Amino acid sequence: MKPCRMQVLLLIVCLFVMAAPLLAQTSAPPATVAMAGTPSAELPDAPSPEPHSAAPSSSNSSAIARPTANATQITDKEFVAATGVLFGSTFATVELTHRCLEAGFCSLVPRALVRRRAMYGVSLPADAGITVLGYYLKRGQHKWWFVPAAIVTAGNAVYGIHAAQHMR
């Protein structure tokens, strides 16, 4: 079965959605902020607060936030894997459900979601929202950041298996 133009377009859009956080990451190490009273080199592109004074005042140094020591990369292998499994399970569920509908076995699908475009139109934005939620949870250093994606993936697996069983 050759994919139609819409399927290829949806695949490309999903790949961009999954790759966007990775492309937004920079490879430069985070700049360290100098604390008052410690010797350090000036940042290359940072303008001095006052052009006439050589030493920064302590009030300006205390207003600058220090980066956290335990800062981790948010879009690591685990995040990309969880997002990939989430979107993969969505594609599998939509395709299996649509084939089950064509065979006439899946009759409990809402009338508004009978078309393939409608299924993708509902499920892909929902997956993008779950991915953004997981991103913010991971950025907030919650250790259960993957739970929303895991719940939706499990739901997709249940519906996909149900559609596959009734297609035979």
Q: Which helix (H) or strand (E) holds 75?
A: none
Residue-wise pLDDT for 109-148, tens only, equals: 888 888 999 999 999 999 999 999 999 999 898 889 999 9
Please tell me the number of Cα atoms within 13 Å of 68 on its side-chain side: 7
Q: How far apart, in whole angstroms, are the C-alpha atoms of residue 156 and residue 149?
A: 10
Question: Can you tell me the distance from the alpha carbon of 168 to that of 165, in angstroms, rounded to the nearest whole number?
Answer: 6
CA distance 142 to 20: 22
Q: How many CB atoms lie within 10 A of CB 86?
A: 24
Please list, in sequence order, all residues whose beta carbon lies within 8 angstroms of the beta carbon of residue 120, skipping any fewer than 6 positions away: 10, 94
Q: How far apart are CA 159 and CA 109, in angstroms?
A: 11
Contact (CB, 8 A) for 106 and 163:
yes
At 135, the amino acid letter reads Y
Domain boundary assignment for the chain = 75-167
Place 165 in a pLDDT band, splitting at 50, 70 and 90: confident
pTM for this model (two decimals): 0.56
Q: What is the pLDDT of residues 60-93, one digit of tens each?
A: 544 555 445 444 687 788 899 999 999 999 999 9
Tokens encoding 114: 């009978």
